Structure 1
Amino acid sequence: MKYVWIILSVFILCSITFSQESLADLFEPEEIVEDIDFLLKSLNDIHPTFNQYLSNPDYQNNLESIKKTITQPMSKYDFFKLMQPLISVDGHTSLRFDGEIYPKKEAPFFPFKILIRNNQIYVKENLSANPNIQKGMIIESINGQQSSTIINLLSKYIPHDGATTHPEKIAGVFHTFYQLIYGNFSEFNLTIRNGEKRENVIVNGIKSEDFTSETKPPFDFQILDNNAAYFYIEGFRQPDLFMVNIDSIFTILQEKNIKYLIIDKRSGGGFTNLADSLLSYLTNKSYKQFEKKVVKISSANRDYIDENKSNGLISDGYLTIEYGPAIPVKRNQLFNGKTYILMGWETYSAATYFVSAIKCNQIATLIGGEAGQPLISNGDIQGINLPNTKMICYSSMSTYYFPCAENRDESVKPDYEVKLSLEDLLNDTDRYLEHAIKLIDRDRVANKTE
């Protein structure tokens, strides 16, 4: 069995109150405790670093306190509320919730697209029926709770790596996670500030189909002015389609003799071998891949261990595989111009691997913000099926050491960091792309490139 690194995308929720108006199946306290014990044992067996949490006395005390509250039948919904904060220890480990939220409402979603900055919520787009709420206004409270409190609560339940959840990640899923954590509301009581003026307003919720958002296609390729091109890649997925697209694009670059290429990798996830395939169009020199991979040995990955134990060292229940230089596939369409990679907090999982290889091996120029995953972090996903509630938990199985990794607290930093202002974020002004074009113009003038 071959394991590859993929991004995890799941719905989760939290709140330590039991739902009383639920039509969902309920489980007896003994069944809930059995699922908790099964879940924690499974994570301890499978997850590469979970034991660091489970062996902590504070963690154990918190766990025992939670178990003592389980004195009445509970739903899957309640189980999520209790356990998600305890088990979501990295960006690839999380419970999955796909059930109903009660009481049901016809239009339960928060009717704004928002921006979070300095622990404040700004209106980015008003989807409510109240035309007086404008872009840039600050939402100070929702249904009587301060916005900063809501942000802090949501940040604890969204899977993430590192000490904090990126505010833009919270903002992007706010309407979904607010519903999952706080429940369904048909209306929202808001305190809104515009400059020094505060106003209390009530707005109705909206349906999920009303919350439209523009989505990019998986690939976007454009020929720009002055012998440059732009290439957006959503993720390293769909291998056949991916290879057909990048092969065609690099053929066009060669035919048109393009000298400058901007690759937009402000998104993450997928297969690392497809990231290697893209690298093979950018360099014909050997390059450093991962420093190493440390796999927790368990019954869940026995096939993988048997297939790879000759490539590494087994010690203390872990298989450690060290990586030598990677030799790229020879490409007739090798790009010989200058390459610029746009990156930011959305650059995650396989995308972090891609930009770390770029940075470590000096293959291209990185522009934007720091990547969304540390250079030493967990990956590879194994599902855990709970015996009674039948819920699924996804768990990391391995710890990856990215190229040039030194510690767990750092991710890939761009060669040119571009700071975004509040106005940039509110108006979706693409300063990263603008900066790349400026660097190209500067290089063209310096080298008199036509």
Structure 2
Amino acid sequence: MQRALTLCLLLNSTLLPGQVDITQKLYSPDELKTDLRFLVSTLENIHPNLYAATSKEKFYQDVEALELGLTEPITRLEFARKLIPLTTALGDGHTSVYFPQEERSEFLKQGGKVFPFDVLIRNNRLYITTNYSSDSTLTGVVEVISINGLRTPELLNQLRPYVSAELDFYRDIRIQRSFRSLLWYVLGYADSYDLELVINDLPVRKYVEGITSAQFQAAALHRLVNQNAKPYSLTITPERFAIIDFRSMTDKKRFARFLDSAFQVIRNETIQHLAIDIRNNGGGNSQLGDLLFNYITDKPYRQVDRMEVKASKEMKHYFRQRYVKWYMYPLMPVAVFNKQARLYAFGKPGKIQVVEMKKLIKPKNESLKFKGQTYLLVSHYTFSSANMLADAFKCYNMGTVIGEETGGVLIAFGDVIPIQLPNTGLAAGCSYKKFIHPCSDDTLRGVKPDVEIVSEPADKVSGRDPVMEYLKEVIKN
């Protein structure tokens, strides 16, 4: 048995004759050009308004320039470096080509060392917020002036084309959350790092060794033990107010059970002030927002005023593959009786169906409905379905919004169809819906808080939370 298991592992980890390591394979110019044309065609098929943020003429100029530059065989990682900026320039935070994960995994598996810090980007400046390195002198407020000779403003300008976003500040949020991997994917930085720093107002130069994936995971796990990593949790503070830390809009059934339990505790404890914290929520299933509203408001509302859905062969294939099981095929004709299902199953490619959400949703009369003061905590990271929640909360006056402007916008594209390029296998995603949210206007903006509070780099380093401090003071008074 043990021998058989060992043999299987060897076969799975060893390339057979004729096989080529996908992370090292070189793709011909013709293969790359085929992938490029496939990508452009597929994006145009799927997206309801691909050229909302950039002109078709400019996009095609960039496509032509990229195609003309494909003259030599290159790896798919090198191809991704050329291709991703083409899609992020479209200005849709849900539409992009992604860096290939296998190359990164192979680098880490071979003992490659990564940047040993978490960072904060603020006003085009870069700060270290968490130190995983062996250098214990990097304490207090540490600003990064340059990495490997590349000064911070130029470094950030080189990373920004690889991240999709509608708003500039949300682009930087995404960069800081993926900074470690982007340094490797975009710039090839690895193993050791030459840093120019300012530590507590004093200029310092440091040569810092990177850390392996195993070292980083061990350090990150240690931090998670001391932090809340659950998708949602309830805390009752010594000041007698409740905090629902809502980090991820996933698992509708589990969230329903959590809400029932949490609001039972809130009722039993006679809590009068409730903070719902979605500062670390990047979205998910918007139906979880509806479940939450059942417990905090009696006001009718809707999260979307209008939705525009584009039919395409890719959308219909994705819909059938994901939602229609083989035993449901005989029932497919029934879809003609439902307008939206008819579009998904039989819609003519290129047709855009406008769905007007005329009815307001009336929250269920939950026996555990909270009657006290409700506060919603938001940040630049609040995005997608979490942004929808924040917009409805503010638009229908369910309470007070505190924090930073959200990273999502009020007229947004979303609901992503996955794409895979035929030759390189690079993955991408493309929006096939447009959402117009309540209280939106022609301004490209997120949900603006009623009370704006911005954390400083020193707050991040020390663990101080000025939003919570403000909230405690408000409740106290």
**TM-score normalised to structure 2 length:** 0.82
Indicate the RMSD between aligned Cα atoms, in angstroms. 2.7
Which of 351, 354, 366 is 1:320 aligned to? 354
Q: Structure 1 residue 93 and structure 2 residue 124: aligned?
A: no
Q: Which residue of 2 aligns with 1:242?
A: 255
Which of 323, 335, 339 is 2:374 aligned to? 339
Displacement of 1:283 in angstroms is 1.4
Amino acid aligned to 1:114: V
Residue segments in structure 2 that go unaligned for 5+ positions in a row = 1-20, 321-334
Displacement of 1:63 in angstroms is 1.6
Q: Structure 1 residue 376 and structure 2 residue 390: aligned?
A: no
Larger CA deviation: 197-206 vs 336-345? 197-206
In the alignment, the residues of structure 2 paired with residue 196 and residue 205 of structure 1 have an alpha-carbon distance, to the nearest angstrom, of 24
Which of 295, 309, 314 is 1:300 aligned to? 314
Which of 462, 468, 472 is 1:427 aligned to? 462
In the alignment, the residues of structure 1 paired with residue 195 and residue 300 of structure 2 have an alpha-carbon distance, to the nearest angstrom, of 57
Q: Give the match's secondary structure for 2:102.
A: coil
Q: Which residue of 1 aligns with 2:73?
A: 73
Displacement of 1:251 in angstroms is 1.5
Larger CA deviation: 333-342 vs 168-177? 168-177
Displacement of 1:281 in angstroms is 0.8
The 1:416–1:388 alpha-carbon spacing in structure 2 relative to 1, beyond 3 Å, is same
In the alignment, the residues of structure 2 paired with residue 406 and residue 53 of structure 1 have an alpha-carbon distance, to the nearest angstrom, of 16
Amino acid aligned to 1:76: R
Give CA deviations for 1:387-413 in whole Å, capped at 9, x if unaligned: 111222111111111111112412111
Residue segments in structure 1 that go unaligned for 5+ positions in a row = 1-20, 443-450
In the alignment, the residues of structure 2 paired with residue 438 and residue 314 of structure 1 have an alpha-carbon distance, to the nearest angstrom, of 57
In the alignment, the residues of structure 1 paired with residue 161 and residue 250 of structure 2 have an alpha-carbon distance, to the nearest angstrom, of 29
In the alignment, the residues of structure 1 paired with residue 202 and residue 450 of structure 2 have an alpha-carbon distance, to the nearest angstrom, of 42
Q: Identity of aligned pairs, percent?
A: 27
Amino acid aligned to 1:43: L
Larger CA deviation: 217-226 vs 378-387? 217-226
Q: Which residue of 1 aligns with 2:179?
A: 174
Displacement of 1:422 in angstroms is 3.0
Report the number of matched residues: 422
Q: Structure 1 residue 273 and structure 2 residue 287: aligned?
A: yes
Once the two structures are superposed, the pairs formed by residues 147-296 of structure 1 within 5 Å of their partners are 147-194=152-199, 197-211=202-216, 212-213=219-220, 214-215=223-224, 216-266=229-279, 267-296=281-310
> Is 1:140–1:192's contact at 8 Å kept on the other side of the alignment?
yes
In the alignment, the residues of structure 2 paired with residue 230 and residue 53 of structure 1 have an alpha-carbon distance, to the nearest angstrom, of 38
The 1:166–1:60 alpha-carbon spacing in structure 2 relative to 1, beyond 3 Å, is closer
Q: Give the match's secondary structure for 2:393.
A: helix
Amino acid aligned to 1:112: F
In the alignment, the residues of structure 1 paired with residue 274 and residue 454 of structure 2 have an alpha-carbon distance, to the nearest angstrom, of 22
In the alignment, the residues of structure 1 paired with residue 244 and residue 178 of structure 2 have an alpha-carbon distance, to the nearest angstrom, of 26
In the alignment, the residues of structure 2 paired with residue 430 and residue 176 of structure 1 have an alpha-carbon distance, to the nearest angstrom, of 27
Greater helix content: 2
Displacement of 1:54 in angstroms is 7.5
Q: Structure 1 residue 112 and structure 2 residue 117: aligned?
A: yes
Which of 131, 136, 146 is 1:131 aligned to? 136
Q: Give the match's secondary structure for 1:99.
A: helix
Q: Which residue of 1 aligns with 2:383?
A: 348
Larger CA deviation: 404-413 vs 422-431? 422-431
Give CA deviations for 1:166-209 in whole Å, capped at 9, x if unaligned: 53432232112111111252211222234675443322111123
In the alignment, the residues of structure 2 paired with residue 173 and residue 135 of structure 1 have an alpha-carbon distance, to the nearest angstrom, of 23
